[in-house]
Amino acid sequence: MLPSLVRLPRRRFLQLTASAAAQSAVAQRALAQTFPSRPIRIIVTWPAGSSPDIIARIMARWLSERLTQQFIIDNRPGALGSVGTASAARANPDGYTLLQATSANVVNASIHNSLGFDFIRDFAPVAGIARIPQVMEVNLSVPAETVPQFIAYAKANPGKLNMASGGIGGSQHLAGELFKLMTGVDLLHVPYRDNPRPDLLNGQVQVMFDTLPASIELLRAGKLRALAVTTATRLEVLPEVPALAEFLPGYEVSVWQGLVAPMTTRDEIIEVVNKETGAGLMDAKVQAQFENLGAVPMPMTPAEFQKFIADETEKWAEVVKFANIRAD
């Protein structure tokens, strides 16, 4: 005997199908209207007081006001972001746990054999937030005023220039390795567990691809020399400093941040958070706070952020392979 649904007249079957779709749409709208109904946790994979933490707190305040529920920052640093990311991957995909993703997430996939999670497979992009530019800076003793002069000097002195970074696989290290890949210069990488800037100032190391917020006051004071910024175009905060892309077309590096959620989080919830995050990035007060940090708003739809993450993953996998970088 055929199932009763099959015996229904075609018109009645279509009516039932349309009714079910309409009920589903109503349920989805209701979910979007009632979310959030309790506090939301944002896992930040870097320590309190770091640039990702500060930016996360700026956005958390905005979202708390807009959505009338508290957005709570949960700092879980360690292993270049992998500790907090693993915790977020195990969270309930109900929209009440978000991860402040950073550029370190796409790099870790290439330098670690086993993380216990897959960043692209296990997370759904929610919203882009910000880019933090980096700056190629040198000790004043380096006889180069421009990027071409530095390249010429480095090629004439292979392996004699030390390139500092805050650790293997970090943003400073990767920016330098991309520079080496695109120019063919030989720089000796010197990773630090602590702050490398004192040694850059006294000449123990000669060059660093530092984050702009951490070094801008040293540059303004004339204690270090900026050769270029790592963004595709010049920055308003350092208008006289050229972009590396002016000499190396295609070079672009920023420390970026955005929000992601466990993969099966409902699209309606993602849309709510994306919409309000985007509104925050257009707010004059938020923009002023970002500018004070040297950060540039990075509004993106979930689809745009997904493509951005995929492109970044492919880009840095090539650099990691070139530099033969492995986890420390």
User: Could you give the domains of the chain?
Assistant: 38-132+255-323 (3.40.190.150), 133-246 (3.40.190.10)
- Percent of the chain, pLDDT > 90? 74
* Confidence at residue 213, expressed as pLDDT on a 0 to 100 scale: 85
Mean pLDDT confidence for 3-8: 48
* Confidence at residue 4, expressed as pLDDT on a 0 to 100 scale: 46
* Confidence at residue 93, expressed as pLDDT on a 0 to 100 scale: 97
The residue among 136, 157, 151 whose CA lies nearest residue 208 is 136
Checking if the pLDDT of 30 tops 60, the result is no
Q: Please, which pLDDT band fits residue 241 given cuts at 50, 70 and 90?
A: very high
Q: State residue 91 phi and psi, 5-degree precision.
A: -75, 155
Distances in whole angstroms, Cα of residue 151 to Cα of each of 145, 147, 318: 11, 6, 22
d(CA 250, CA 261): 30
Q: Between 14 and 134, whose confidence is greater?
A: 134
Checking if the pLDDT of 292 tops 70, the result is yes
Distances in whole angstroms, Cα of residue 7 to Cα of each of 1, 12, 14, 21, 27: 10, 10, 13, 21, 29
Peptide bond into 299 cis (omega under 30): no
Q: Please, which pLDDT band fits residue 306 given cuts at 50, 70 and 90?
A: very high
Mean pLDDT confidence for 296-315: 96
CB-CB contact of 163 with 189 (8 Å): yes
d(CA 59, CA 281): 9
* Confidence at residue 9, expressed as pLDDT on a 0 to 100 scale: 60
How far does Cα 166 stand from its chain's mean position?
Answer: 17
Distances in whole angstroms, Cα of residue 50 to Cα of each of 45, 77, 247: 10, 10, 31
Mean pLDDT confidence for 53-75: 96
* Confidence at residue 18, expressed as pLDDT on a 0 to 100 scale: 56
* 101-119 tens-digit pLDDT: 999 999 998 888 778 899 9
- Percent of the chain, pLDDT > 70? 90
d(CA 177, CA 316): 10
d(CA 59, CA 48): 15
The model's pTM = 0.82
* Greatest alpha-carbon span in the chain: 90
CB-CB contact of 87 with 97 (8 Å): no
* Confidence at residue 12, expressed as pLDDT on a 0 to 100 scale: 65
* 156-189 tens-digit pLDDT: 999 899 999 988 888 999 999 999 999 999 999 9
d(CA 140, CA 149): 14
The residue among 254, 227, 222, 253 whose CA lies nearest residue 240 is 227
* 205-238 tens-digit pLDDT: 999 999 888 888 999 999 999 999 999 999 988 9
CB-CB contact of 262 with 97 (8 Å): yes
Mean pLDDT confidence for 310-320: 93
Checking if the pLDDT of 3 tops 50, the result is no
Mean pLDDT confidence for 243-254: 96
Q: Please, which pLDDT band fits residue 13 given cuts at 50, 70 and 90?
A: low
